[in-house]
């Protein structure tokens, strides 16, 4: 059974979904833009008999607090800081990371800071290489160099319903398999007064991620966490060119390109769930100590 709750972090209500017994291996599920923990709504039940699963919403996203931009620093450093405090309050000692889209810069910051706590990486269209920033990123890179009102207007297109629908449907095998609930829910959060300014701050702050890629890559080469790549190969935001370089830095890697788009869980949730279970049994479990039994 999935439980829904909130905890206070630095005065903010951080919403999260949780399932699975606490004595089971833990996986922290980190969502992308413009989504929330809702993107894991089908994956969590598929895995809850085998894992302790926790999926928070970042500040400004989903059901978590949405302070104004003059009340909270919307940066990937600060979101990673909030998620780090969330990890402490949830009592997670060691865990795997599921990194998707924005979840990658958040999760890699956490992994770099506390590598000994990371048991595995599950990377689903989450970028860590320059090769993954292609044509889609041209207007964002332009804004990073020159954040003018004119360049900002180009990015506001990413906040529209049309763009949100495109993120969910571009590259999928069968558009009829994608529930409109996804974009209707995400858009309702994006359309809240002031949320546009939050997203624009994060669009601009994304410029801090590419300079950090070498540090993230060094973490992977040095610590060699077992890694599962489950990447929607038809994604134009983070295309498959960004998936291949992980093979250069990780030795214990299960590499999979899936015939779907950016939000791969929408079409291939069952496939990804099966791969996570097999990955854990064959590649992760042999590398870690058995956890102590503790009923929730």
Q: Which residues are catalytic?
A: 262
Sign of the dihedral defined by the CA atoms of residues 256, 261, 267, 269, in that order = positive
**What are the residues whose beta carbons fall under 8 Å from the beta carbon of 148, sequence distance 6 or more?**
none
Residue 98 backbone dihedrals phi, psi, to 5 degrees: -100, 115
Tokens of 278: 């097999």
With CA atoms as reference, report the closest residue to 120 among 279, 255, 273: 279
With CA atoms as reference, report the closest residue to 242 among 126, 122, 153: 126
**What are the residues whose beta carbons fall under 8 Å from the beta carbon of 205, sequence distance 6 or more?**
74, 75, 76
Residue 146 backbone dihedrals phi, psi, to 5 degrees: -150, 85
């Amino acid at each position: 059974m999935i439980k829904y709750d909130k905890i206070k972090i630095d005065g903010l209500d951080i919403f999260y979904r949780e399932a699975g017994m606490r004595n089971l291996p833990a996986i922290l599920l980190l969502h992308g833009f413009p989504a929330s923990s809702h993107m894991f709504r089908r994956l969590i039940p598929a895995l809850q008999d085998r894992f302790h699963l926790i999926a928070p919403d970042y500040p400004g996203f989903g059901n978590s607090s949405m302070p104004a931009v003059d009340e909270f620093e919307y940066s990937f450093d600060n979101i990673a800081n909030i998620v780090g405090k969330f990890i402490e309050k949830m009592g997670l000692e060691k865990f795997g990371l599921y990194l998707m889209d924005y979840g990658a810069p958040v999760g890699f910051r956490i992994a770099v800071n506390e590598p000994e706590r990371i048991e595995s990486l599950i990377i689903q269209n989450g970028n860590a290489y320059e090769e993954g920033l292609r044509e889609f990123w041209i207007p964002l890179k332009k804004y990073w160099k020159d954040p003018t009102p004119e360049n900002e207007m180009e990015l506001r297109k990413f906040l529209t319903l049309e763009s949100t629908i495109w993120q969910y449907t571009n590259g999928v095998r069968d558009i009829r398999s994608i529930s409109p609930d996804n974009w209707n829910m995400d858009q309702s959060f994006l359309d809240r007064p002031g949320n546009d300014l939050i997203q624009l701050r994060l669009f601009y702050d994304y410029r801090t991620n590419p300079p950090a890629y070498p540090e993230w890559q060094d973490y992977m080469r040095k610590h060699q966490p077992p890694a599962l790549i489950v990447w929607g190969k038809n994604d134009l935001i983070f295309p498959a060119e960004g998936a291949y370089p992980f093979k250069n830095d990780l030795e214990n890697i299960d590499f999979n390109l899936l015939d779907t788009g950016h939000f791969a869980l929408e079409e291939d949730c069952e496939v990804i769930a099966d791969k996570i279970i097999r990955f854990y049994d064959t590649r992760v479990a042999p590398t870690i100590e058995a956890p102590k039994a503790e009923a929730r």
